[in-house]
Amino acid sequence: MKFHKEGYTSLALVLLFCFAINAIADFYDAPTYVKWFLYALSAFLFITILQFFRSPNRSIIQDAGTVLCPADGKVVVIEETEENEYFKDKRLQVSIFMSPVNVHINRSPISGIVSFFKYHPGKFLVAWHPKSSTDNERTTIVVKQENGTEVLFRQIAGALARRIVWYVKENDAVEQGAEFGFIKFGSRVDLFLPLGTQIDVKIGDKVVGGKTTIARL
């Protein structure tokens, strides 16, 4: 288990805040119960940051015929829908909701070349809201396999997630299961797959990024 690089700033801010409030309490000789409350609050904040930015070691088994889960969380949507940004046709949508207690690393569901990338500023509706996929701050990434099959996935900010991070751009080569980004503090990832794709999960399933097979192409 490692600490993810995206958490360094947050960890530094929390440590600075905890040091400041405890130093002030000591300087003004606050009552014992106040000091213990601040100690407990400091410990809670420190542990919360450590667990949120944890980066577990994962052994990825790559398979060109499968679509691996792009994030830890719970499957909240499986439906046929119209994808109007890139494909402009009907696709199978699978959405994974990431709660604040999940690992928030995003992983590429397939290997290939990034054929499309776009960042969209937007709103911060709760991640399970039906319009969050089109109205919220988000990225759209499309990866094309060697055989020409393309899979589109979106990082979607939620009510708490105010920062989306991505590590890819158009024409980059990506490997299945490799990190392509990170979303802070609760969010959602949508997958758009070709019609006829065999879906291997159901709504409500708990899934693991880079490990769970979402579908078979």
pLDDT in tens, the chain (217 residues): 789 899 899 899 999 999 999 999 888 888 999 999 999 999 999 999 998 899 998 999 999 999 999 999 999 999 999 999 999 999 999 999 998 889 989 999 999 999 999 999 876 666 555 565 667 788 999 999 999 999 999 999 876 555 789 999 999 999 999 999 998 766 889 999 999 999 999 999 999 999 999 999 9
The enclosing domain of 157 has a CATH number of 2.70.70.10
What's the pLDDT score for residue 127?
A: 56
Structural contact between residues 72 and 207, judged by C-beta atoms closer than 8 angstroms: yes
Cα(16)–Cα(10) distance, rounded to whole angstroms? Answer: 10
Q: Is 187 a catalytic residue?
A: yes
* Same domain membership, residue 143 and residue 83: yes
* Same domain membership, residue 205 and residue 112: yes
| Selection from 103, 82, 84 nearest residue 209 by Cα | 103
Domain end: 55, 74, 95, which one? 55
Structural contact between residues 190 and 94, judged by C-beta atoms closer than 8 angstroms: yes
Q: Could you tell me if residue 117 is inside a domain?
A: yes
What's the pLDDT score for residue 121?
A: 87
* Same domain membership, residue 182 and residue 116: yes
* Same domain membership, residue 166 and residue 129: yes
- pTM score, whole prediction: 0.87
Q: Could you tell me if residue 76 is inside a domain?
A: yes
What's the pLDDT score for residue 130?
A: 58
What's the pLDDT score for residue 163?
A: 76
* Same domain membership, residue 141 and residue 203: yes
The catalytic position among 108, 111, 133, 187 is: 187
* Same domain membership, residue 17 and residue 110: no
* Same domain membership, residue 138 and residue 94: yes
Cα(177)–Cα(188) distance, rounded to whole angstroms? Answer: 17
* Same domain membership, residue 82 and residue 37: no
Q: Where are the alpha helices (DSSP H) in 114-174?
A: 132-135
Q: Could you tell me if residue 61 is inside a domain?
A: no
**What domain range includes position 206?**
66-216
Q: Could you tell me if residue 60 is inside a domain?
A: no
Tokens of 98: 């990431």
Q: Could you tell me if residue 135 is inside a domain?
A: yes
The set of residues, in sequence order, having a beta carbon less than 8 Å from that of 78 and lying 6+ positions away, is: 92, 93, 94, 95, 199, 201, 202, 203
* Same domain membership, residue 26 and residue 70: no
**Number of compact structural domains in the chain:** 2
* Same domain membership, residue 148 and residue 51: no
* Same domain membership, residue 15 and residue 87: no
